């Protein structure tokens, strides 16, 4: 039998012009860790300056220092809670005082955990929706006037969870579906101002909290069986997609959702045994240590 072929993840600097984002400023919620940290680092290596947003001020300052040292560009920490628009407005004010403008906005703050609906409290559901969906709306409202001035871009980090009825993912599925709809409305309303709005929907990305939570323990090989490209995604895969969507090469692309998942969206199905995982939820709790019951 022939062996499967695996494309490698390619760093952005191997493909894109080094100063493609010279003098650009990016405002990033969730920029202190995970996918958004990696995207921010890539944009900075390509010339951008960054303001990263998160709730933990000390951790955020450490992340900003690391980004600045790694890229020879400048990142600042602008602490805020995306659920509270006044804190985002303050973060925007700090960004303008430091850099004078905002060209790009990445709405990447997110919350997620595994839980069947019967184990999902109203407060837990509300928390995920407030971080993912309300947080995206608040970020847009806080930055909108500055992005209109720069004829800039919004990029929302979405997901593929809601493309089917995925067990144990009701809250983030509902929230990300709302993010997709909000991005489309934003594209229509702000298009005449020269502003674009798009989503990236990542698949499973190695080294992220999302992958740690969503993959059942000991089931890595099973998960690969759902991926036509035969590998788990890397943060570089998402960063490269972001570079393209922010670049002038995508100047006629708005209101779209770019799925970056190695083709696994075409093998939609739960990573849990079905229907056993919904008929006897407690039997599968051990596969997801952080799940709610």
* pLDDT tens-digit readout, 111-139: 888 888 998 999 999 999 999 999 999 99
Of 160 and 277, the one with more pLDDT:
160
Helix 122-129 with 170-190: angle, nearest 10 deg: 30
173 catalytically annotated: no
| Fold of the domain built from segment(s) 14-287 | Rossmann fold (3.40.50)
Backbone phi, psi, residue 234, to 5° = -115, 160
pLDDT at 237 over 90: yes
Of 57 and 285, the one with more pLDDT:
57
CB contact at 8 A, 69 and 58: no
pLDDT at 215 over 80: no
The pTM is what?
Answer: 0.91
Q: Specify which residues 87 forms β-bridges with.
A: none
Of 24, 73, 158, 264, catalytic: 158
At residue 169's C-alpha, the angle toward residues 160 and 163, to 5°, is 30
**What length does the chain have?**
293
pLDDT at 142 over 60: yes
pLDDT band at residue 269 under the 50/70/90 scheme: low
User: For the residues 164-187, what does the mean pLDDT come to?
Assistant: 95
How far apart are the C-alpha atoms of 106 and 117, rounded to whole Å? 30
Of 24, 49, 176, 235, catalytic: 176
Backbone phi, psi, residue 104, to 5° = -125, 145
How far apart are the C-alpha atoms of 143 and 1, rounded to whole Å? 54
pLDDT at 90 over 90: yes
176 catalytically annotated: yes
């Amino acid at each position: 039998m022939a062996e499967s072929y695996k494309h490698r993840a390619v760093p952005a600097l191997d493909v894109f012009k080094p100063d493609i984002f010279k003098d650009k400023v990016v405002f990033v919620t969730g920029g202190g860790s995970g996918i958004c940290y990696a995207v921010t680092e890539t944009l900075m290596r390509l010339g951008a300056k960054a303001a990263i947003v998160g709730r933990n001020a000390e951790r955020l300052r450490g992340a900003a220092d690391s980004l600045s040292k790694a890229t020879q560009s400048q990142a600042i920490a602008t602490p805020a809670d995306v659920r509270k628009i006044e804190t985002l407005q303050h973060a925007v004010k700090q960004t303008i005082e430091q850099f004078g403008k905002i060209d790009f906005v990445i709405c990447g703050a997110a919350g997620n955990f595994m839980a069947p609906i019967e184990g999902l409290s109203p407060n837990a559901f509300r928390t995920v929706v407030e971080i993912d969906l309300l947080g995206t709306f608040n970020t847009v409202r806080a930055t909108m006037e500055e992005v209109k001035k720069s004829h800039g871009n919004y990029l929302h980090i979405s997901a593929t969870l809601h493309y089917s009825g995925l067990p144990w993912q009701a809250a983030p599925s509902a929230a990300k579906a709302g993010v997709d709809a909000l991005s489309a409305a934003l594209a229509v309303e702000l298009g005449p101002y020269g502003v674009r709005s798009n989503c990236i929907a990542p698949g499973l990305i190695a080294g992220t909290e999302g992958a740690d939570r969503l993959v059942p323990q000991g089931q890595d090989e099973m998960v690969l069986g759902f991926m036509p490209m035969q590998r788990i995604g890397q943060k570089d895969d998402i960063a490269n997609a972001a570079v393209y969507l922010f670049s002038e090469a995508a100047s006629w692309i708005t209101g779209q959702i770019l799925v970056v998942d190695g083709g696994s969206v075409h093998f939609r199905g739960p990573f849990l045994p079905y229907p056993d995982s919904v008929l006897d939820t407690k039997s599968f709790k051990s596969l997801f240590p952080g799940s709610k019951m």
